[in-house]
Structure 1
Amino acid sequence: MNALIKSATIIDTKSDFHNETVDILIENGTIKKIGKSIKNTANYKEIVLNNLHVSQGWFDSSISFGEPGFEERETIKNGLKTAACSGFTHIALNANTNPIIDNASNVTFLKDKANNNAVTMYPIGALTKASKGKDLAELFDMKNAGAIAFGDYKSPITNPNILKIALQYAQGFNGLVLSFPFEKNIAGLGVMNENFTSTSIGLKGIPNLAEDLHIARDLFILEYTEGKLHIPTISTEKSVDLIREAKKKTLNVTCSVAIHNLFLSDDTLKGFNTNHKVMPPLRTQKDIDALIEGVKDGTIDMVTSDHTPIDIEHKKVEFDHALYGTIGLESAFGALNTLFTTKKTIDVLTRGKQRFNIEDSSINIGNKACITLFNPNEKYIFEHDAIVSTSKNSIFVGQTLKGQVYGIISNNKIALKS
């Protein structure tokens, strides 16, 4: 793949050309030259786009598709296309398929399905067999097959001894253990945040305690085992405080937050829109403020779209019966770029790579081209026609966002929006 990117502003603090507007010459998938005005002597494909900005490729640590088992929600092929159109060169795929990704052959199947694509997909293996929380899955075999972490998606580890054993066992091969913070016995039959809003509209609430208590337990176990833990999609003020304190104690812990938990509060549920039914639930503005501060000061290590396609048959039902989840890839950059500066947005979209042992490829001469192309200034209302996913269950429809993605260059391929 050969190309000449014209007049692009580089946003990459690890690049020698950070904040400069330059041309970028790519030959055979490698950056060969960066300069103010490069002539296209070889007649390569020229990429000329309005207010073009580029950064190193983005990473999303929590993506769900459907295949295998739920292809009506999303196939791997269309899911990877969606990721590319949304600016993501690397994604971690959750283990919530049918069958569950709990052995090496399932990991290999997914890797093969995603082969030869501009987007690199990394499977997350289930922590326990069939994600039932009883027995550890084949962690080491899945690691060797290409799994980058281990966790039961949206399913908490109810048995603390399972977490203890997993953290101890995974140290033998530098494995990363994920623990979803949700105490079922506290949450009960709740379907949204427990607050004034839940009482006023008559929906059962999930208190912050359900998350906070679970995180406190996990951090005690982590300190005991001296393992390596990632806590996905936190949502409460207390969670931020607990993880901040754990990091001060130098525990090996990281965490993420879903973009919608930074952007929307539980007030939006007054309309009973099931696309707003997510897990963890939307919280209060006080929680949002604490989460945003956690992103800014580095307590929260990464931000995820937590992209979860759900077919209409499981969303267009009564709120209590609707499945949890929203798609989020297509709106991820625009939402984050509305909340933070563009520099900070790019930072949180790329800094999760290190935790998952993914190569960090800066925009420098001699490096492989792993680039996201975007316009950070365009404001727009996010509508259904912007959705590339097969499922259309977006929490962001109707929201005003800032920043459009053009596509990616990665794995010696160009994938731009048509």
Structure 2
Amino acid sequence: MNVLIKSATIVDSKSDFHNDTCDILIQKGIITQIQKQIENTSKFKEVTLDNLHVSQGWFDSSVSFGEPGYEERETIANGLRTAALSGFTDVAVNSNTNPAIDSYADISFLKAKAQGNPVNLFPIGALTKHSDGEDLGELYDMTNAGAIAFYDYQKPIKNPNLMKLALQYASNFGGLIYSFPQESKISGLGVMNENVMSTSLGLKGNPTLAEELQIVRDLFLLEYTGGKLHIPTISSAKSVALIRDAKARKLDVSCSVAIHNLILTDDELKTFHTRFKVAPPLRTQSDCNALIEGLKDGTIDIVTSDHNPIDIEHKKIEFDYAKYGTVGLETAFGALHTIFSLKKSIDLLTKGKERYGLESIPIAIGEKAKLTLFNPSENYTFNKDMLHSTSKNTIFEGHKLKGKVYGIYSNHQLVLN
């Protein structure tokens, strides 16, 4: 599709046009002109939107859909549509389906389902067969099929020798191993942060110690094996300190944080609403502050929506029995922009691709057009009617957000709200 984007402020620190307000002409998927004013002599589709800003396409490193097996939560087609309308041109999709994505054929299935879509889907294969934590999955075969990393989504690897073998084996082909930071025997049946709040509410607590012990174990294993480790969705101040120290010792470790863990605290659980039941749990304000500081100094590499749709039958029940998870694609930018500047918010949303060997394309003449279109200044209160996801379990319902997404241009296609 040929498109002329009119009067757009470019937010891209890697572009010569950073902070300039320009017209952008896209022909056959390539940016052919960037000028203050471009005449639409060829009658291309023209995009004129209020306070329009554009950036490189956004990337989310942890997205869950339902297909195959849990299509009532989210299909791949609707999940990718939701990603596009939320500003994401690239998403890494978790293996928590039924059956789990743990073979060459499964990875090929996901990629085939996403073929021709404006959003690029990058599969994360299951680390162990069936994600049951017993035997390593077919890591090399899945890499050949297009898997970019390996993760049993939100399932800790209890056996340290299995994690050691995974790091050693994957190092032969540069595979990235995820390890969910939770020591199960310490976390036990905890459903929220162990704190004064859990005691007052009468809910079983999951202490930060469970997260930190697992991180310490995995960092020792990484030092021993010399592999390549990613620790997803950390949530505590001490976790930040541990990873900061590991990076100072030149270990090949990266980590991410879920956007809701930057903003919301365990005080939200006073309502007992299950939309606040997430893994890892919401922690304290001091943890939020440490996580934000970790992003500012580069200790934390990536922010993620950790988008995890859950059907109403598994969410609208007693707190102890409800499943963990929140949808997050639609609120990612609006929430992040409430705590960071525009430049920092966009830097965080476009960061992380290099960890997975994915291309990062600047906004420049002659480059492929992969753009996110948005208005950074609009303030609003988020509600369920704004969701595109099939599931409606949004943790940010009723919260004030800043910045709305118009859509994306990617893979020769324009998608607008």
TM class by shorter chain equals over 0.9
Deviation at 1:416, TM superposition (A): 0.8
Cα distance in 2 for partners of 1:340, 1:98 equals: 37
Aligned to 2:314: 314
Separation in 1, partners of 2:319, 2:177:
32
The residue number in structure 2 matching 1:358 is: 358
The offset of 1:171, in angstroms, is 1.2
Residue 96 (structure 2) aligns with = 96
Report what 1:110 is aligned to. Answer: 110
How much does 1:172 deviate?
A: 1.3
Residue type at the aligned position of 2:195? N
Amino acid in structure 1 at the alignment position of 2:136? L
Structure 2 partner of 1:36: 36
Q: Residue 383 of structure 1 corresponds to which residue in structure 2?
A: 383
Q: Deviations over 1:62-110 (max 9, x none)?
A: 0001000000000001000000000000000000000100000000001
Corresponding residue for 1:125? 125
Give secondary structure in 1 for the equivalent of 2:338: helix
| Structure-2 separation of matches of 1:250 and 1:60 | 25
2:380 & 2:213 partners in 1: Cα distance? Answer: 40
Question: Could you say what secondary structure the match of 2:392 adopts?
Answer: coil
Deviations 1:229-285 (A, max 9, x none): 000000000000000000000100000000000010000000000010000000000
The separation in 2 between residues aligned to 1:408 and 1:36, in whole angstroms, is 21
3-state SS, counterpart of residue 190 of structure 1: coil
Q: Does 1:138 align with 2:146?
A: no
Quote the offset at 1:21 in angstroms.
0.3
Q: Which amino acid aligns with 2:412?
A: N
Deviation at 1:351, TM superposition (A): 1.1
| Equivalence for 2:82 | 82
The offset of 1:319, in angstroms, is 0.2
Shift of 1:133: 1.1
Show the counterpart of 2:416: 416
Partner of 2:228: 228
Q: How does 1:10-409 map to 2 (within 5 A)?
A: 10-409=10-409
User: 2-side partners of 1:383 and 1:158: how far apart?
Assistant: 38
In 2, Cα distance between the equivalents of 1:141 and 1:350? 29
Runs of 4+ with >4 A deviation: none
Superposed displacement of residue 134, structure 1: 1.1
CA distance in 1, matches of 2:83, 2:380: 20
Instruction: Give the whole-Å Cα distance in 1 for the aligned partners of 2:348 and 2:179.
Output: 21
Distance in 1 of aligned mates of 2:164 and 2:412 = 42
Structure 2 distance, partners of 1:190, 1:207, is 8
Q: Partners of 2:305 and 2:363 in 1: how far apart?
A: 24
Q: Which moved more, 1:238-247 or 1:163-172?
A: 163-172
Matched residue type, 1:235? S
Structure 1: distance between partners of 2:162 and 2:57: 35
Q: Secondary structure at the match of 1:339?
A: coil
- How far residue 173 of structure 1 moved from its aligned partner, in angstroms, is 1.0
Q: 1:355 Cα deviation (Å)?
A: 0.5
SS in 2 for 1:261: helix
Per-residue Cα deviation, 1:32-78 (whole angstroms, up to 9, x for no partner):
00000011111000000000000000000000010000000000010
- Aligned residue number for residue 3 of structure 2: 3
What is the Cα deviation at residue 169 of structure 1?
0.9
Q: How many residues align?
A: 417
Alignment gaps of 5+ in structure 1: none
Opposite residue 259 of structure 1, the aligned amino acid is I
2: distance between equivalents of 1:349 and 1:161?
A: 35
Q: Secondary structure at the match of 1:169?
A: helix
Q: Deviations over 1:135-170 (max 9, x none)?
A: 110000000101000011000111111111111111
Counterpart amino acid of residue 2 in structure 1: N
User: 2 CA distance for matches of 1:172 and 1:249?
Assistant: 22
Question: Mind listing any 5+ residue stretches in structure 2 that lack a counterpart?
Answer: none
Shift of 1:212: 0.3
SS at match of 1:409: strand
What amino acid maps onto 2:355 in structure 1? R
AA partner of residue 320 (structure 1): D
CA-to-aligned-CA distance 1:351-396 (integer Å, 9 cap, x gap): 1111011110110000100000000000000011110000000000
Letter paired with 1:257:
V
| 1:399 CA drift (Å) | 0.2
